[in-house]
Chains A and B, each alone.
Chain A
Amino acid sequence: MSEGSKDQMSTIREKLLLAPNIYEMVIEAPRIAAKARPGQFIVVMADEWGERIPLTIADFDPRQGTLTVVLMVVGTSSLKLSRLEVGESLYALIGPLGHASEVEPVGTVVMVAGGVGTAPAYPIARAFHQSGSRVVTVQGARSKELLFWTDRLASVSDEHVVTTDDGSAGRKGLVTEPLVELLQRDHGTPIGRVYAIGPAVMMKFCAQATRSFGVKTIVSLNPIMIDGTGMCGGCRVEVDGQTRFTCVDGPEFDGHLVDWELLLSRQKIYHEQEACSLKQWTGEPEPAR
């Protein structure tokens, strides 16, 4: 436990394995739950030795005072978090950070959610749905077993399309294929906005696909962060030729203006060190402290 604040225990209330290496966690955080809006994120530390990593707020319940996050285990920090059990507390939890999604009636909104991107897409889709927009979701995963929250996403969508890379569920192929077809089709109301949330590569290709249609395409960027409050500049990205700090200026930006190569290369800065760090948590015994 962090040298704690009484109000914010950050205790894990529920933990669920959604798919291999993907966990849903419900965390007690009353102040944040009261303020959270779709599109915002938190920064957490699993323990005193941990790294500060960002996670999107996938759901929030002001009455229960809880937040829901969906976590994919990819390295040390996510592994450590996934090993925390119900009743245990995070060492640190700060939020809600970043700007909320700009939700307004836009006719039809197409929401593309790839991989764990499903989790952050859900509250945004719900908000658009409630705003009276027509919501069409495209949910993609590598294979059937990695799909989660399909019901939830469907429940806030007027139309819901599933794709898998291997064809084990829904349509075989990448999310960009149905995306392009949807853009070509008549929806009664024009498509006012496309949202793409998922791995950087997926967001990049979605933005490329929508460009020639001239539809405003919002992406939620995921660079490496530390503080999440605009203090370090580690999360900088280039949008429309300008340097922006994702944590305070974003995380949502116009996908047509993002320098994707820069984002992709900045995500890999610590590749070797991350591999070295992970090795000591898997296979080898935990380091003596």
Chain B
Amino acid sequence: MNEKSSTPRERPSKKSGRNPRVPMPEQRPEVRIANFDEVPLGYTPEQARAEAARCLQCKKPSCLEGCPVNVDIPGFIALIVEGKFAEAARKIKEDNCLPAICGRVCPQETQCEAACVLAKKGEPGAVGRLERFAADYEREQGLIELPEKVPPTGKKVAVVGSGPAGLTVAGELILRGHEVTIFEAFHKPGGVLMYGIPEFRLPKRIVEEEVDYLRRLGVKIEFNQAIGTSLTVDELLDEEGFDAVFIGVGAGLPYFMGVPGENLGGVYSASEYLTRSNLMKAFDFPQYDTPIVRGRTVCVIGGGNVAMDSARTARRLGAEKVYIVYRRSRAELPARVEEVHHAEEEGIVFKLLCAPIEYLGDPRGMVRQIRCQAMELGEPDASGRRRPVPKPGAEFTLDTGLVIVAIGSGANPLLTRQTKQLELNRRGYIAADETGRTSRRGVWAGGDIVTGSATVILAMGAGKAAARNIHQYLCEKDGTVR
């Protein structure tokens, strides 16, 4: 085992009971805050088999219903028990073309694992970790096999955006014999997987390898193509000869709060901060050319996963003190429990029940202080969470060298405003039914651009549903039924 790793250990859990899960080895906090390497190190084959053996192989597996893409969970776990690791990976891939990614970033505790029967008496089966193990094993051992090609249908599909939604659509349709081209605005594929989620949670090499697999299946990717500028959806359909278009452009418009001083230097949106660090590799400046502001003290505004990712990135970029500034209490933190736990282990301090009301700068226009308003919890709001209300007269300031605003994102109008007859909802997202069909014939949409910011697996689920419907449409179009 790697010398950096700690002995396998697990957060103490009241529910561990007599049949606890096999713990996941992790990098120790004091080591990992100085590097960008992945935190959980993955199971060894022995650990994986031991964990897999805990699964009861239920006749009516409830875990399956918790998974938005219905991975055959007992099926792949049984193969791990038998030591057929590559076969297990292939089993998962029948339903999920990005298992190494989902095994790492799915919020399993609210999905597959929440529904596992083992969770009733103790700890659920570690479905995510096993999924990751199988996918890593297949890839690292060079055992990835390409499925057999079906005869080409001669139909062309354009996929806009290479996030999880777009990649899933591409993967599904290429296997059904259609010609697929992805158009991606950035110079790298993966969407949030590449520019948002940090290296220490999802190594970029893995994203690239999963995308490579799709390319080997025949998916074409055109980078640096922002649809709506050099090409429009209308042109893809009317001039470039595509029979269908899938839009999976994500929710990439950062929100700000509009408080005074928010445009000072050193106040970033989380998207800018994470894009600089992850996509442009500013953590490796000046080897890479993109710079980033590094504060000794950093304040992250917000309490979701994006806030945790930003805070943990700041820590690794050398910040001594990192605060999470969140206006509700700990119970309402929207971030995954695991992420909050990892953040705390890394020394991130939670300033709960407070909200920024002003940023103050130095004469050069760089942020130096935040003025905060202390809050208390009032009546529940529409979401059922107690609404934070300002505590009269309770204000304080925090010194800071860097602020990262992680309060969410919305729909980017770059593509939608250039596309005719595409109905949007009130908030600017594309209106689509459960099969991804939009108001425009031949155009589907899915992922964050339909639902607003959600999860990787929901985006993939939407991609899968849309792919099925697109396939049907393409077959009906010329009467060939497959």
Contacts and interface: CB of A to CB of B under 8 A. Distances in A.
A227 B185 contact: yes
A51 B252 contact: no
A262 B365 contact: yes
Nearest to B189: A3
A261 B269 CA distance: 21
Contact of A277 (B185, B223, B285, B414): B285
A230 B252 contact: yes
B285 A229 contact: no
B364 A229 contact: no
Contact of B229 (A8, A52, A96): A96
Contact of B225 (A76, A77, A94, A97): A94
B187 A91 contact: yes
B263 interface: yes
A186 to B, nearest CB: 41
Contacts of B225: 5, 8, 31, 94
A95 B366 contact: no
A268 B364 contact: yes
A243 interface: yes
A31 B252 CA distance: 24
Nearest to A90: B224
Interface stretch (B1-9, B272-280, B445-453, B464-472): B272-280
Contacts of A261: 365
A97 B229 contact: yes
A205 to B, nearest CB: 20
B117 interface: no
B411 to A, nearest CB: 10
A227 B275 contact: yes
B205 to A, nearest CB: 15
A72 B380 CA distance: 57
Contacts of B268: 233-234
A276 B290 CA distance: 12
A4 B412 CA distance: 25
Contact of A233 (B226, B269, B364): B269
Contacts of B123: none
B271 interface: yes
Interface string A230-241: 111110111000
Contact of B256 (A5, A226, A243): A243
Contacts of A233: 254, 256, 268-269, 271-272
A265 interface: yes
Contacts of A93: 224
B171 interface: no
A49 B263 contact: no
B230 interface: yes
B425 interface: no
A2 B221 CA distance: 11
A2 B224 contact: yes
A193 interface: no
Given A230-B414, A231-B254, A265-B365, A31 B185 contact: no
Given A230-B414, A233-B256, A234-B272, A2 B223 contact: yes
B272 A229 contact: no
A284 to B, nearest CB: 11
A92 B256 contact: no
Query: B interface, by DSSP: helix, strand, loop or mixed?
Result: loop
B319 to A, nearest CB: 16
A14 interface: no
Interface in A89-134: 91-97
A236 to B, nearest CB: 6
B407 to A, nearest CB: 12
Contact of B223 (A3, A236, A265, A274): A3
Contact of A95 (B221, B230, B265, B285): B230
A261 B263 CA distance: 11
Contacts of A248: 413-414
A248 B366 CA distance: 24
Report the contact-size class of chain B (Cβ under 8 Å from the partner): 35 or more
A266 interface: yes
A265 B293 CA distance: 14
B286 interface: yes
Nearest to B215: A3
A35 interface: yes
A273 B230 contact: no
Contact of B289 (A2, A5, A51, A230): A51
Contact of A77 (B252, B263, B289): B289
B265 A269 contact: yes
A35 B253 contact: no
A230 B187 contact: no
Interface string B281-309: 10001111111010000000000000000
A238 B263 contact: yes
B221 A226 contact: no
A288 B413 CA distance: 41
B231 interface: yes
A266 B265 contact: yes
A97 B418 CA distance: 13
Given A229-B185, A229-B412, A230-B253, A50 B364 contact: no
B266 interface: yes
Contacts of A234: 268-269, 272
Given A49-B289, A95-B229, A266-B263, A229 B414 contact: yes
Interface in A46-75: 49-52
A155 interface: no
Contact of A232 (B224, B254, B286): B254
Nearest to B258: A243
29 contacts: A2-B224, A3-B188, A3-B223, A7-B222, A8-B222, A32-B230, A35-B230, A49-B287, A49-B288, A77-B289, A93-B224, A95-B229, A95-B230, A226-B272, A226-B276, A227-B275, A229-B229, A230-B413, A231-B271, A232-B254, A233-B271, A234-B272, A248-B413, A266-B365, A268-B265, A269-B265, A269-B293, A273-B286, A276-B286
Interface of A: 2-8, 31-32, 35, 45, 49-52, 76-77, 80, 91-97, 226-227, 229-234, 236-238, 243, 248, 261-262, 265-266, 268-270, 273-274, 276-277, 280, 287, 289
Nearest 9 CB-CB pairs, A to B?
A: A265-B365, A5-B222, A273-B291, A232-B272, A269-B265, A92-B187, A51-B289, A233-B269, A94-B224
